[in-house]
Amino acid sequence: MSDMSTQLQKLVIASGNAGKIEEFRAYLADLGVTLILKPDSIDVEETGTTFIENAHLKASQVAIATGEWAIADDSGLEVIALNDAPGVLSARYADTDSDRINRVLSELSHHSNREAQFVCAIAIASPDGAIAADAIGVCKGAIADAPRGNHGFGYDPIFLIPEFQQTFGEIPPEVKAKISHRANALSILRSKLQNFVNQ
C-alpha cells in the first residue's frame, strides 16, 4: 500500500445495526472520510470465538467484497455471574432485544453479583482485506433489576452506570457517546485512522 491518503477516502461501515451506524457516523464525522453502508447482499458469518476475531472477519470480508476500506465492530455484554455470557452471542441470545433482556434478567435472578461490562472490538481493513488497525474498548457497569429508559439499543436499558445511577437507556446519547465501550474503542482507533487519512 504505497499511498494510503488517496485510498482512504471512503470507509464502508460493515454493519446492519442502525444504532451502531449512527454512533460510527457521529464519532467519525469530522475525519474527512465518506462513510458508506455495506450492501445488504454482503452477509458475513460471525464464526469467531472472540469479539476481536469477529471484527477482523467482518472488516476483512466486507473490504474484499466492496474493494474499499471497511470498518467493523463486534460488541456485546459480558455478565460476570453468568461466566461472561451472553458475550459474543449477545446479538443471538434471543430473537428480539426485549427477549434478550428478559433472558439475562431471568438468568441473573438468583445471583447477587450484578457486575457486567460492555466490550467493543473494532477493526479497519484495507481494500485487499488486510487488517490495518484495531482496538478494544470496555465500559464497566452492572445489570439493573429491570429495564429503564428509552435511549440506545440492545441491552442499553438494563446496563447501569454506577456513577450516574442511570442505565444507558436513561443517559442522554451525547453522554453515552463519551463513556461507552464503542467510544473507548473508537478513541483508541481514531489516531490510527487519522494517520491513514493524513498520509
Phi-psi domain of 73 (left: phi exceeds 0; alpha: psi -120 through 50; beta: other): beta
List CB contacts of 27: < 8 A, sequence separation 6 or more: 177, 182, 183, 186, 190
User: Which of the following is catalytic: 40, 43, 73, 74?
Assistant: 74
181 is in an annotated binding site: yes
DSSP 110: T
43 classed as catalytic: no
169 is in an annotated binding site: no
156 is in an annotated binding site: yes
Q: What are phi and psi of 144, to 5 degrees?
A: -70, 165
Side-chain half-sphere CA neighbours of 96 within 13 A: 3
176 is in an annotated binding site: yes
141 is in an annotated binding site: no
58 is in an annotated binding site: no
Cell numbers at 139, concatenated: 465500559
99 is in an annotated binding site: no
* Residues that are catalytic: 74
Binding residues for substrate: 15-20, 75, 153-156, 176, 181-182
Binding residues: 15-20, 45, 74-75, 153-156, 176, 181-182
Binding residues for Mg(2+): 45, 74
